[in-house]
Structure 1
Amino acid sequence: MIDRVITSGTFSLDGGTWDVDNNVWLVGDAREVVVIDAAHDAAPIAERAGGRAVKAVVCTHAHNDHINAAGPLAARTGAPIRLHPADQVLWEQQYGAEVTYEPLEDGEKIEVGGIVLEVLHTPGHSPGAVCLYAADLGALFSGDTLFKGGPGATGRSYSSFDTIIRSIRERLLTLPPETVVHTGHGDSTTIGAEAPHLEEWIARGQ
């Protein structure tokens, strides 16, 4: 039900560029999938989807390393791109007005292959950052909001440490502790593993 493709490329913002490896998640069944964070290269993502219909390309946020394969993948598969509109300014840095998306809303439920993905608006890493919660799978797709070891980075434009901490505390740490957190980069973790460290993160971030 959950597949991962790791793609490599660069992340650019505020005049800097960094090499990154991204987790691209495919959620669905043998007939259809949703792609979460189409990063860097559409070809291996489409290959992993195989003959399955791509129902949507969902972006957890609009930093370029999470969306730079969304346009090509959507063109290849005919799937709509979904993004929270609060990240419009970041989207335009990558695509301008050439590629469009359908707005995501907090609380929206995306159904694919008998699985329901609930959209949780979790601003902080970016204004429109979202996580996708699949209660039936006991899984959260956190993008760059929560990682193994702490919150996503907030030292660049359009980000806020206080906001990401509030999002994590109110929207994520309230989920069942056994929930597996599938992140935008690196290894997965669980809500229960991360929750005890919230105050440490706050102390580090001040």
Structure 2
Amino acid sequence: MAYTGEVEVGGTPDVHELKDLIITKAAVGPMNNNAYVLRCRETDEQLLVDAANEPETLLEVIGADGLTSVVTTHQHGDHWQALQAVVDATGARTYAGRHDADGIPVPTDVLVDDGDIIRVGRVELTARHIVGHTPGSIVLVYDDPHGHPHVFTGDCLFPGGVGNTQGDAERFASLFRDVKAKLFDVLPDETWVYPGHGNDTTLGAERPHLPEWLERGW
């Protein structure tokens, strides 16, 4: 079956097979978080984006081949509840944005800055620092050499808008500015977006609505 990105807590993960990378998306409770296991086809190394919760579920998706690294997109607790258990079980190296790492109670092995490259096997992901939802949120951009880009946005971008800034106009302005400058202004409409909660989208589907988001302020 073709990948849809529509998953539910307790349901079957969905698998997006690219030429160099396999992306497995799973939903975990109780906040309906998405977690993504990225597997390099050439080396079989694996990287997890957000050990959100349900470590037993995540470890089942990871499987017997183990895990090289875990990237936490931001410091909010619903994105790292399973991090310690996953690290203990796999020995994976931990990555997080430099300005959010202090808010994550599991030690961060690698502090990530804007433009840093994170590798899973032969595949390279570019981290972009996005300020607003939290001070140190990062998104990961995979610029697929055989197709369109793929972006793991954490809680910075969803279908229908940017992430929650709790009504803070300054934080919203920062988040909107960074998402526009670092994603919409430099990536094509075909770019596939994998958010921290809910269904996937594309930049092309969301781009026409940017003026509406700016006007409503959330």
Within the alignment, does 1:28 sit opposite 2:39 as a pair? yes
User: Aligned with 1:132: secondary structure?
Assistant: strand
When the two structures are superposed, what TM-score results if normalisation uses the length of structure 2? 0.82
Q: CA RMSD, aligned part only?
A: 1.7
User: Which residue, 11, 21, 24 being the options, matches 1:3?
Assistant: 24
Match of 1:13 in 2: none
Match of 1:108 in 2: 116
User: Aligned with 1:187: secondary structure?
Assistant: coil
- Aligned counterparts, 1:62-81, within 5 A: 62-81=75-94
Within the alignment, does 1:180 sit opposite 2:192 as a pair? yes
1:146-200 CA distance string (max 9 Å, x none): 001110000079x810110011110010211101000100000001111111110
Distance 1:22 1:128 in 2: 19
More helix by share: 1
1:89-126 CA distance string (max 9 Å, x none): 532xxx2xxx3112112111112132211101111110
Distance 1:88 1:67 in 2: 11
1:63-111 CA distance string (max 9 Å, x none): 00001111111111000111112114532xxx2xxx3112112111112
Instruction: Give the AA of the match of 2:132.
Output: G
Identity level (%): 35
Distance 1:3 1:182 in 2: 11
Structure 2 portions without partners, runs of 5+: 1-21
Match of 1:14 in 2: none
Instruction: Give the AA of the match of 2:33.
Output: N
Structure 1 portions without partners, runs of 5+: 10-19
- Aligned counterparts, 1:36-185, within 5 A: 36-91=49-104, 95=105, 99-102=106-109, 103-136=111-144, 138-155=149-166, 160-173=171-184, 174-185=186-197
Within the alignment, does 1:196 sit opposite 2:208 as a pair? yes
| Alignment: residue pair count | 189
Distance 1:156 1:185 in 2: 20
